[in-house]
């Protein structure tokens, strides 16, 4: 789509922008991030997306065209391009590897005491061990580094050279900075799914939600528990299938290309007369 959003969509998109920005701005203000920083990052994203996604076929994207698309002046575009900085890499790879180790601990029969029940593993020694788990499911990640990371985020406890899984999800509970990194990946993944479904109506990705706005608070405990139980079951089922095809876990997996895919499940609630609009 090489045109700006149709006028009839603008009111809907403006309302959507306000809704999705409310929780984001709460986080930004709580962490002392002023509007100027947000605006500067937004400009960078407009520039990057215009360059990467909206160039004319067979032609190099010009500053003039980017200015038309984004409303950013050519002088400002030149300034931003001259001051572009490389971003840090590798963080998401660590997150992915740690999550794979945890899910394998729960789903791989070799490391289970019973179906769905992860063993307490000796850190090294005779297999199965934590060392063999990491080597099988995290590629070339150092065993000690993986153990330190899982202990740091509260997923694993170590006693007498044995490791015990105490949290079945990679949630960096001890570091707010790590949780903020998840904000940048998980929310982006949801919006990418919505974007795909807008552009590819014949091949939509799965996107569903159930929502009620007049529930008594006493009912939420049961709803939370049901969501957690069945959400975890779904994640583990999909994870097991993905492991059979992922080349890092299963080098014998056949096929073309290098694709990334995932499934996210989340529960939301709000105690207020102001609704979360469905």
pLDDT tens digits, 41-51:
999 999 999 98
- In the chain, where the domains are located: 7-87, 91-165
- pLDDT category at 261 given cuts 50, 70, 90 is very high
Sequence length of the chain is 278
pLDDT of residue 3 exceeding 60, the answer is no
pLDDT on residue 34: 87
Label residue 177 exposed, middle or buried (CB < 10 Å: 0-12, 13-18, 19+): exposed
pLDDT on residue 1: 45
pLDDT of residue 80 exceeding 70, the answer is yes
Mean pLDDT throughout 112-141? 87
pLDDT on residue 88: 40
pLDDT of residue 123 exceeding 50, the answer is yes
* C-alpha neighbours within 13 Å on the C-beta side of residue 255: 10
Highest mean pLDDT among 35-39, 54-58, 79-83: 35-39
pLDDT on residue 31: 82
pLDDT on residue 175: 59
Residue 18 structure tokens: 């306000």
Mean pLDDT throughout 167-195? 79
- What angle separates helix 63-70 from helix 35-53, to the nearest 10 degrees? 120
Mean pLDDT throughout 186-210? 92
pLDDT tens digits along 156-175: 999 989 999 998 877 665 55
Residue, of 7 and 80, whose pLDDT is higher: 80
Mean pLDDT throughout 33-40? 90
- pLDDT category at 6 given cuts 50, 70, 90 is low
pLDDT tens digits along 139-154: 778 899 899 989 987 8
Q: How high is the mean pLDDT of the chain?
A: 85
């Amino acid at each position: 789509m090489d045109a700006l959003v149709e006028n009839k969509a603008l009111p809907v998109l403006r309302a959507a922008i306000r809704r999705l920005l409310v929780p984001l701005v709460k986080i930004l203000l709580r962490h002392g991030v002023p509007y100027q920083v947000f605006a500067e990052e937004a400009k960078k994203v407009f520039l990057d997306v215009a360059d990467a996604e909206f160039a004319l076929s067979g032609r190099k994207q010009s500053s003039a065209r980017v200015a038309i698309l984004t409303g950013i002046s050519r002088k400002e575009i030149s300034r931003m391009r001259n001051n572009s900085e490389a971003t840090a890499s590798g963080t998401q790879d660590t997150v992915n590897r740690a999550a794979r180790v945890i899910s394998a601990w729960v789903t791989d029969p070799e490391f289970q005491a019973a179906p769905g029940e992860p063993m307490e593993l000796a850190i090294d020694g005779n297999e199965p061990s934590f060392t063999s788990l990491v080597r099988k499911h995290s590629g070339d990640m150092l065993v000690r580094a993986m153990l330190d990371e899982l202990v740091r985020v509260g997923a694993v406890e170590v006693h007498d050279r044995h490791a015990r899984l105490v949290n079945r999800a990679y949630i960096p509970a001890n570091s707010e900075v790590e949780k903020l990194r998840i904000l940048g990946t998980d929310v982006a993944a949801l919006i990418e799914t919505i974007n795909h479904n807008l552009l590819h109506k014949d091949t939509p990705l799965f996107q569903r939600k159930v929502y009620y706005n007049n529930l008594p608070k006493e009912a939420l405990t049961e709803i939370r528990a049901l969501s957690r139980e069945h959400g975890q079951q779904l994640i583990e089922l999909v994870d097991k299938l993905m492991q059979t095809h992922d080349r890092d876990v299963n080098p014998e997996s056949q096929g073309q290309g290098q694709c990334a895919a995932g499934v996210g499940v989340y529960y939301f609630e709000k105690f207020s007369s102001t609704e979360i609009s469905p």
